A and B are shown apart, each in its own frame.
Chain A
C-alpha cells in the first residue's frame, strides 16, 4: 500500500467576493522510497496540493472534499493537535526561498533542533549532537561551527541545506520539497537535488518534488504528475512520460523548452493565452481554449483521467510513440513589414566600417567595503568585474552566462551607464561612453537600453502604461505629444499587446505581459543595443517562449543587437550567436554559442552545462554527478591565479601561481578560453593532448 494516498482532493479558497476552486478532485499516491514530481505552470495548484496535504492552507483555504491517507491515517479528519505532530515529525517540508523561511534572529542550529525538541522531546545537548550530525550529512562544511551561525552568515546554497536538515531531522516518512532549488544556481541546484536523492535512498522516505522545471523532474522523479488549472491532467512514470507524453498540455510544455529547438533556427512553440480563472472554471477541458488540437467535444465535456500506469485526461491525445523532435515548432516567419513609420534603423547611426557596436576592454569595477560606524575604514574591495574584454558587433546577440555573484549584472550596469567603471573603457560605436557628461551623455544613452529581470519592480506601479512608455520619449524630447502617443500605439503593436493596454496600470498584467511592456519601453528610443538582464528567468516556460520568440523577431525587424544575460545556458543558446562565460568577474570562455555548448573548453563551462537539468530522464541518468563542487568563493578576496582553481577538478600548482590569459590554444581568435589546462582534446590533437596528459598524472 502506498504511503500517501490522495483521493479526489478538492480545495477551495474563499476570498472576499469570490471562491477560487484551487484543487479539483486531485488523486495521487506516493510509496516509500519513491519520488513523485508535480509539474505545471505557476498558479496551476502544485503548491496548493502540497499545502493541502500538510493542511497549511492560506486564510480562507479549506479542503472541501476527498481524502488524504498518510501511513494509514486520514489527515483531513485529524484533530489539529495531532496534525502538528505529523507536520515536521512525519512529513518534512522544504520551501522555495531559504532566505525567508529561516528566522533571521535565531542561530540556525537551534532552529533545526526545534522540531527535534518539539516532536521527540530530546534534551538540548542531545539535540545539538544530532543536529551537527545532520549538518554533516547534508554537506554543510565544519558543521559544529555553523551550529551557532545566523542565517545571514550562510550562503544561499548552505541555507537551503539547513532547510533540508530541518526537514529531515526527525526522519520523516515523507518529504515535500516545494520548488527547493528555484532560487539557487544550476551548480548548487544539482548538488541539492543529488543530496535529496541520496538521503531518500538512505532513509527510505518518500519525496514529493514540486517544480515548474521539467529538467529537475526528469533528473529526480520516478513518477510525474502534470497539473493544469487545479487538476491532474497526466500522470506516468518519468521515463514513460518524457518519452511519450500524451496530454496536449504536456506536449506543449515540452515544445516550449528552448533546448529542444536551439540551433535549429526554428521558433519555440508558445502556449497562447493564460490559464483559466479558477473562480469559475469551465465545465469542459480546461486546457481547450489554449489547445491547438481542441475539437468541439473538448469545449463541452470534461475529460476524465483514464489509464492505469499512464493516465491522462484528454479527448485528442497525442498519438502514442516517442516524441517527434520538434513537431510543434513553426519555421521562423520571413521578413515582416515593420509597421512603424518613425522607426530609425540602427544602421543609420552605427557605422558599418567594422567598428564594433560595443567594445569593452579591460573593464573593472570594485566596490569598496567599509567597516566601522563613524570613522569608516576601507576593508578591501569586492572585485565584481575584473578586467573584462569583449566586443559585440551590429546585429549580433551575445550571451553572458555564469552563476549568481559572478559579475554579470554589474557588467550590464556598467555598460548601460548605471555604474562608473573603476578601470578600463567602454566604447559604443567607437566613442568612449563612460567619459561622456551632460547632454552628450543623455543623447548617447538612448542607443543602449536595459531590460530588467523583474518586470514588476521595473515599472512604476503608479503610472499607466502610456505614461511609462512615453517617459523615455519625454526625457529625450522626441516628437510632439501626439507623436509620442502614436509611438506608444506602435510599440504596443510591436510587442503584441492590445492598444488599449495603454490606459492600464502594470499590476493589471500578467508577468509575461509586463515583460512585454518592459521590452516596449526599452524599444521606445529605438536603441541599437538592448542589454537584457535575465529577462525570462521569472517566467513560466510557455511564457518564456513567447518572450524569446518576440525578442528574436524584433532582432530581425529592427536590426537590434542583444547582450543577453542569463544563468540559463539553454535560453542563451537559443537566442544568441556567441556566448561569454563569466566566473568571479572574469570571462573564462567565449565563442560561438553552438560550439561552446557542444564542446566546452573551460572546466567551469563544462560543469555548468552538465549541471543544467535536461528534460530527458535517460540523459539525466547518464550525466556525471555534480561537476562543479562547492560554491563560488567570495569576490572580496578572490583566489590567486585562476579564480576557478578552488573548485576545479583539473587544478594544479600552476593555476594558483599564474593567471591564465584569455586565448585560443589551438586556432583563430573566434573562440577563447582562459585556462591552463583546457578541455580542447576532442577538438584538436596538438596542444589539447599534452594538457590532457598532464592532467592524468
Chain B
C-alpha cells in the first residue's frame, strides 16, 4: 500500500530501488560474525595458538607420560636430550611434562578468573550506569573502596591464611579483578542510557531490566570482550607474580609463573631450558588472547559484517 502510481511505474523500471537490500540471503548471526573474525589474520593465528596450547596442556599428558609426583634428585637439571626433550628441573621433574601441568593451572585460572570478573563487573557497571543517581553513587563508591586495596598485597595476605589451590586462586582473582570492567561498562552505559533506542523502551512501557539486558549489555559487548582478554592475560600474569614470589600454587602442582621463578635461580649456570620455555609460553598465551579479543570485538560489531 501507500505507493503512489508513479512510484509503482518507476519501480518496475528501477531495480535500484532496493539498493540497500541486496539479494543475498542474510546469514545467521554466528556465521556472519565468524566471517568477520576470519578476515582478521592475527585473530585467527591467536585462536590457533590458544587452541594448540590448550591441547598441549590438557591432551599432551595422554601421549607423553612423565612422573610429576616423585622427586628424583638423581635426574636434577639434566639438559635437553634423549628421554627428556626439554631436560629436567632441579627436583628431577621432566620439564616438558612440567609445562603441561603448569599450563593447566595457568590457563584454567586465567580463563575462569576472567570469566567471573567480566560477568560480575559488566552486570555491576551496567546497572550502576543505567540507573544513575544514588544507585550509581553507592555502587561506584564500593568499587572505589575496593580499588584502593592493592591486589598483590591482598593476595599475599590471603595465601598466608589459605593454602593456595587452583580454585582458591580463581575465586580470589575473579573477585578482585571485576572492578575494572565495572568502571568501564558503567561509563559506557551512562552514555548508552541516553540513547534514543533505550528511551524508546521506556516509552513502550518496558522495564529497566529489559533496557539493561537487551540494549545496554549487547552494546557494551565490544568493550567487554576486549577487556575480558586483558583480564585473561592479567590473571595469568598475576599468578605468575605470585609464583615468582614463591607464594603460588604449592608443589607438586605448579604453574608457568612458578616454573619461571624457580628457573631464574639457574641463570648463572645457564640452564636455559628452565627459563625460556615457561617464559615464552606466558608471552605467547597473553599475546594470542589479546589478538583473539580484537577479532571478537569486530565479530560482534554488526556494522562490520558484509551483506
1/0 per position for A315-349, CB-CB distance to B under 8 A?
00000000000000010010011110000000000
Q: Which 4 A-B pairs have the closest CB atoms?
A: A442-B205, A458-B196, A445-B205, A289-B14
| Interchain CB contact (< 8 A) of B20 among A457, A493, A508 | A508
Tell whether, in the assembled complex, residue B17 and residue A445 are in contact, meaning their CB atoms are under 8 Å apart: no
Tell whether, in the assembled complex, residue B196 and residue A496 are in contact, meaning their CB atoms are under 8 Å apart: no
Tell whether, in the assembled complex, residue A553 and residue B1 are in contact, meaning their CB atoms are under 8 Å apart: yes
Which residues from 59 to 109 on chain A have a C-beta closer than 8 Å to any C-beta of chain B? Answer: none
Tell whether, in the assembled complex, residue B13 and residue A336 are in contact, meaning their CB atoms are under 8 Å apart: no
Report if A459 contacts B (CB, 8 A).
Answer: yes
Q: A336-B1, A493-B1, A549-B4 are in contact. List 14 more A-B contacts (CB 8 A).
A: A270-B7, A272-B6, A292-B9, A416-B203, A417-B202, A443-B205, A445-B203, A452-B196, A457-B195, A462-B302, A472-B204, A504-B26, A507-B302, A508-B307
In angstroms, Cα B197 to Cα A503, docked, is: 18
Report if B70 contacts A (CB, 8 A).
Answer: no
Which residue of chain A has its CB nearest to the CB of B192?
A460
Report if A269 contacts B (CB, 8 A).
Answer: yes
Tell whether, in the assembled complex, residue B215 and residue A441 are in contact, meaning their CB atoms are under 8 Å apart: no
Residues of B within 8 A of A (CB): 1-7, 9-11, 13-21, 26, 195-197, 199-206, 210, 214-215, 218-219, 221, 302-303, 305, 307
Rounded to whole Å, the gap between the CB of A668 and the closest CB of chain B is: 36
Task: Give chain A residues whose Cβ lies under 8 Å from the Cβ of B9.
Answer: 292
Tell whether, in the assembled complex, residue B26 and residue A294 are in contact, meaning their CB atoms are under 8 Å apart: no
Rounded to whole Å, the gap between the CB of B304 and the closest CB of chain A is: 10
Which residue of chain A has its CB nearest to the CB of B202?
A418
In angstroms, Cα B202 to Cα A445, docked, is: 9
Rounded to whole Å, the gap between the CB of B57 and the closest CB of chain A is: 35
Task: Give chain B residues whose Cβ lies under 8 Å from the Cβ of A513.
Answer: 20
Task: Give chain B residues whose Cβ lies under 8 Å from the Cβ of A159.
Answer: none
Report if A650 contacts B (CB, 8 A).
Answer: no
Task: Give chain B residues whose Cβ lies under 8 Å from the Cβ of A274.
Answer: 16-17, 19-20
In angstroms, Cα B21 to Cα A509, docked, is: 7
Report if A47 contacts B (CB, 8 A).
Answer: no
Which residue of chain B has its CB nearest to the CB of A458?
B196
Q: List 18 A-B contacts (CB under 8 A).
A: A267-B4, A273-B14, A289-B14, A289-B15, A289-B16, A330-B6, A441-B205, A442-B205, A452-B200, A459-B197, A463-B214, A471-B204, A471-B206, A496-B2, A501-B21, A504-B21, A525-B204, A553-B1
Task: Give chain A residues whose Cβ lies under 8 Å from the Cβ of B6.
Answer: 269, 272, 292, 330
Task: Give chain B residues whose Cβ lies under 8 Å from the Cβ of A638.
Answer: none
Tell whether, in the assembled complex, residue B203 and residue A272 are in contact, meaning their CB atoms are under 8 Å apart: no
Report if A475 contacts B (CB, 8 A).
Answer: yes
Task: Give chain B residues whose Cβ lies under 8 Å from the Cβ of A292.
Answer: 6, 9-10
Task: Give chain B residues whose Cβ lies under 8 Å from the Cβ of A509.
Answer: 20-21
| Interchain CB contact (< 8 A) of B219 among A333, A449, A460, A471 | A460
Task: Give chain A residues whose Cβ lies under 8 Å from the Cβ of B197.
Answer: 457-460
Which residues from 288 to 313 on chain A have a C-beta closer than 8 Å to any C-beta of chain B? Answer: 289-292, 294
Tell whether, in the assembled complex, residue A498 and residue B21 are in contact, meaning their CB atoms are under 8 Å apart: yes
Task: Give chain A residues whose Cβ lies under 8 Å from the Cβ of B307.
Answer: 508
Tell whether, in the assembled complex, residue B17 and residue A273 are in contact, meaning their CB atoms are under 8 Å apart: yes
Tell whether, in the assembled complex, residue B16 and residue A494 are in contact, meaning their CB atoms are under 8 Å apart: no
Rounded to whole Å, the gap between the CB of A378 and the closest CB of chain B is: 17
Tell whether, in the assembled complex, residue A553 and residue B196 are in contact, meaning their CB atoms are under 8 Å apart: no
Rounded to whole Å, the gap between the CB of B84 and the closest CB of chain A is: 50
Task: Give chain A residues whose Cβ lies under 8 Å from the Cβ of B303.
Answer: 461, 505, 507
Report if A510 contacts B (CB, 8 A).
Answer: yes
1/0 per position for A165-197, CB-CB distance to B under 8 A?
000000000000000000000000000000000
Which residue of chain A has its CB nearest to the CB of B22?
A508
Known: A270-B7, A290-B14, A330-B6. A471 touches B201 (CB 8 A): yes
1/0 per position for A476-505, CB-CB distance to B under 8 A?
100000000000000001111010110111
Tell whether, in the assembled complex, residue B203 and residue A496 are in contact, meaning their CB atoms are under 8 Å apart: no
Report if A251 contacts B (CB, 8 A).
Answer: no
Tell whether, in the assembled complex, residue B206 and residue A449 are in contact, meaning their CB atoms are under 8 Å apart: no
Report if A143 contacts B (CB, 8 A).
Answer: no
Q: Please count the residue pairs between chain A and chain B whose beta carbons lie under 8 angstroms apart in the complex.
A: 136
Known: A445-B203, A471-B206, A513-B20. A289 touches B1 (CB 8 A): no
Q: Number of A residues contacting the other chain (C-beta, 8 Å)? A: 64
| Interchain CB contact (< 8 A) of A458 among B19, B200, B218, B219 | B200
Task: Give chain B residues whose Cβ lies under 8 Å from the Cβ of A290.
Answer: 10, 14, 16
In angstroms, Cα B215 to Cα A459, docked, is: 10
Task: Give chain A residues whose Cβ lies under 8 Å from the Cβ of B7.
Answer: 270, 272
Tell whether, in the assembled complex, residue A498 and residue B18 are in contact, meaning their CB atoms are under 8 Å apart: yes
Task: Give chain A residues whose Cβ lies under 8 Å from the Cβ of B196.
Answer: 452, 454, 457-458
Which residue of chain B has its CB nearest to the CB of A507?
B303
Known: A272-B7, A289-B14. A449 touches B205 (CB 8 A): no
1/0 per position for A436-471, CB-CB distance to B under 8 A?
000001110110011010100111111100000001
Tell whether, in the assembled complex, residue A461 and residue B302 are in contact, meaning their CB atoms are under 8 Å apart: yes
Rounded to whole Å, the gap between the CB of A419 and the closest CB of chain B is: 10
Tell whether, in the assembled complex, residue B203 and residue A417 are in contact, meaning their CB atoms are under 8 Å apart: yes
Which residue of chain A has its CB nearest to the CB of B221?
A462
Report if A277 contacts B (CB, 8 A).
Answer: yes
Known: A290-B14, A458-B197, A462-B302. A450 touches B203 (CB 8 A): yes
In angstroms, Cα B204 to Cα A471, docked, is: 9
In angstroms, Cα B276 to Cα A165, docked, is: 64
| Interchain CB contact (< 8 A) of A450 among B2, B14, B200, B214 | B200
Which residue of chain A has its CB nearest to the CB of B2?
A553
Report if A648 contacts B (CB, 8 A).
Answer: no
Tell whether, in the assembled complex, residue B204 and residue A476 are in contact, meaning their CB atoms are under 8 Å apart: yes
Task: Give chain A residues whose Cβ lies under 8 Å from the Cβ of B5.
Answer: 330
Tell whether, in the assembled complex, residue A550 and residue B199 are in contact, meaning their CB atoms are under 8 Å apart: no
In angstroms, Cα B1 to Cα A509, docked, is: 20
Tell whether, in the assembled complex, residue A475 and residue B205 are in contact, meaning their CB atoms are under 8 Å apart: yes
Tell whether, in the assembled complex, residue A272 and residue B215 are in contact, meaning their CB atoms are under 8 Å apart: no
Task: Give chain B residues whose Cβ lies under 8 Å from the Cβ of A337.
Answer: 1
Report if A554 contacts B (CB, 8 A).
Answer: yes
Report if A200 contacts B (CB, 8 A).
Answer: no
Task: Give chain A residues whose Cβ lies under 8 Å from the Cβ of B202.
Answer: 417-418
Report if A592 contacts B (CB, 8 A).
Answer: no
Known: A289-B13, A471-B204, A476-B204. A273 touches B19 (CB 8 A): yes
Which residue of chain B has its CB nearest to the CB of A277?
B19
In angstroms, Cα B1 to Cα A495, docked, is: 8
Known: A273-B19, A289-B16, A460-B215. A446 touches B2 (CB 8 A): no
Known: A503-B26, A554-B2. A449 touches B203 (CB 8 A): yes
Tell whether, in the assembled complex, residue B204 and residue A276 are in contact, meaning their CB atoms are under 8 Å apart: no
Rounded to whole Å, the gap between the CB of B200 and the closest CB of chain A is: 6
Which residue of chain A has its CB nearest to the CB of B197?
A460
Task: Give chain B residues whose Cβ lies under 8 Å from the Cβ of A463.
Answer: 214, 218
Report if A146 contacts B (CB, 8 A).
Answer: no
Report if A212 contacts B (CB, 8 A).
Answer: no
Task: Give chain B residues whose Cβ lies under 8 Å from the Cβ of A365.
Answer: none
Task: Give chain A residues whose Cβ lies under 8 Å from the Cβ of B219.
Answer: 460-462
Report if A521 contacts B (CB, 8 A).
Answer: yes
Task: Give chain B residues whose Cβ lies under 8 Å from the Cβ of A459.
Answer: 197
Task: Give chain B residues whose Cβ lies under 8 Å from the Cβ of A449.
Answer: 203-204
Tell whether, in the assembled complex, residue A475 and residue B20 are in contact, meaning their CB atoms are under 8 Å apart: no
Tell whether, in the assembled complex, residue A462 and residue B218 are in contact, meaning their CB atoms are under 8 Å apart: yes
1/0 per position for A519-534, CB-CB distance to B under 8 A?
0010001000000000
Rounded to whole Å, the gap between the CB of A659 and the closest CB of chain B is: 33
| Interchain CB contact (< 8 A) of B203 among A418, A510, A557 | A418
